[in-house]
Structure 1
Amino acid sequence: MGKNNSRMLMRFSALAMVLTAAMMVEEAKSVRLCNLETNDLERCRPAVTGNNPPPPVNGCCVVLRAANLPCLCKFKSSLTAYGIDPAKAKALLPKCGIRNVIAPPGC
């Protein structure tokens, strides 16, 4: 019985190390882009995906207020690859109280 417990503990420890390493790698994938960390955009994901998304949370609005929004417009065509509806993303601005953003043509 003790041998099985030791084996289970070893497996659990190995799993914990793998999960910790995976989380650290995921954190490292964040890129600084248009005045924000790309991982921070995850705060807005619920508000820009699905058929009936909820309103943005305060953390999402904080991220958007810090971002260089005209710069983000350059990446508009990439949004759908991440399951983000560009029209819903644009609709976040007034929901977060962000007005008077001068967007490039076609944004």
Structure 2
Amino acid sequence: AAESGQRRISVGLLNRLRDPTARQLFEFNLEVMAGHDDLDLGLTPDVPGSPGLLPLEEARVRHVVSHLGVEATTEHAVRVLSRRTHPERVPDPGPGRP
């Protein structure tokens, strides 16, 4: 952990992560929750009336968020950040699914 700069994990968590599906979900969650500062969104919030202010262009929001592969998350981000007034119907993923 010290060599890679990552946090230590408990033996219990390590054992649960031996399952490939659990490990894949864990890695996905780490990626989703990580902050990114390498995305050029073309925002200039310090310039009044510039594209750096909400609402953002729908295509730009969709491009940045869709790489996560979770349609509901993408649609939510588009609705909130672009203030789209007529959201598309996103299918319910079913019980127990995000």
Instruction: Identify the TM-score tier after normalising by the shorter chain.
Output: under 0.3
Bigger Rg over Cα: 1
Name the TM-score, length of structure 2 as normaliser. 0.26
Higher relative contact order (CA 8 A, sep 6+): 1
More helix by share: 1
